[in-house]
Amino acid sequence: MNNPLIEITQLCKTYDMGGDNMVRALQDVNLTIHQGEYVAIMGPSGSGKSTLMNILGCLDTPTSGHYMFRGTDVSQLDDDALSAMRNREIGFIFQNFNLLPKLSAVQNVELPLMYAGVSLRERRERATEALERVQLAERKEHHPGELSGGQRQRVAIARALVTRPGILLADEPTGALDSKTSVEIMQLFHELHEQGNTIIVITHDPNVGSYAHRKITIHDGRISSDAPNDNITRM
């Protein structure tokens, strides 16, 4: 197998709450993810999965241990380098879409490219191409308020795709959607994985986790299980 896309070793994250109150959110986490995997990281509230997501997404750094991304030790990067890593390598998909209401769908998708200094012509072409990948190009001039919840999430997924990132990192991607629309979004994730995208989904929902090819469970800041999903929900 190729070199890992992500390799985490003996990673710990501790929060100082003041006085002698120290919260150990992650303890001795070891994890390897390869290019092209579809992984669900699961656990109840307070388990540490959100902390792990923030570290994977270069939104936070570990207290100790190492996080290697494509051979770069992310745990040693400063804030500017972390920001550059996020913009270049990670496509974020959030539960509540995080779209700007005054911008059209295509303008929302363009935003990461605008921050990266890409020309207007190129970012419009790439944003339109990303919307085509999520079957929403015909609504590109519509604003978020004119779109359904499922369509807004498709815009958010297109925005995550537009930088051609190393991984798509999805935080509870169906949490704000009804059950029918949730299935449609998970169908889209399946298609993106089939196209070669690496997908990491953070979820407490076993239905969402059932679509992943590998399931990692966290309890009390430690990985309690990490195994292939033998009962993948087939599309």
Indicate whether 1 pLDDT > 70. no
Predicted pLDDT of residue 23: 87
Domain segments of the chain: what residues?
6-228
pTM value is: 0.92
Q: What's the rounded mean pLDDT across residues 183-206?
A: 93
Nearest residue to 171 via CA among 73, 60, 51: 51
**Inter-residue contact 173 to 190 (CB < 8 Å):** no
For residues 28 and 145, what is the distance between their CA atoms, to the nearest angstrom? 44
Indicate whether 80 pLDDT > 80. yes
CATH code at 6-228: 3.40.50.300
More confident residue, 22 or 134: 134
Percent of the chain past pLDDT 90, that is, above it, reads 78
Q: What's the rounded mean pLDDT across residues 1-10?
A: 88
Sole residue written with tokens 């029918």: 180
Lowest mean pLDDT among 16-20, 49-53, 206-210: 16-20
- Could you tell me what percentage of the chain is helix, strand and coil, using 3-state DSSP and rounding each to the nearest 5? 35, 25, 35
Sole residue written with tokens 């519509």: 142
Tokens of 42: 């699961």
Phi and psi dihedrals of 30, rounded to 5?
A: -125, 130
Q: What's the rounded mean pLDDT across residues 92-111?
A: 94
Predicted pLDDT of residue 234: 75
The set of residues, in sequence order, having a beta carbon less than 8 Å from that of 81 and lying 6+ positions away, is none
Q: What's the rounded mean pLDDT across residues 36-58?
A: 93
Q: What's the rounded mean pLDDT across residues 89-93?
A: 93
Four-CA torsion 8, 204, 207, 225, nearest 10 degrees: 40
* 91 Ramachandran zone, left/alpha/beta (phi>0; psi -120 to 50): beta
Tens digit of each residue's pLDDT (9 = 90 or more) over 138-156:
999 999 999 999 999 999 9
Predicted pLDDT of residue 235: 60
Indicate whether 18 pLDDT > 80. no
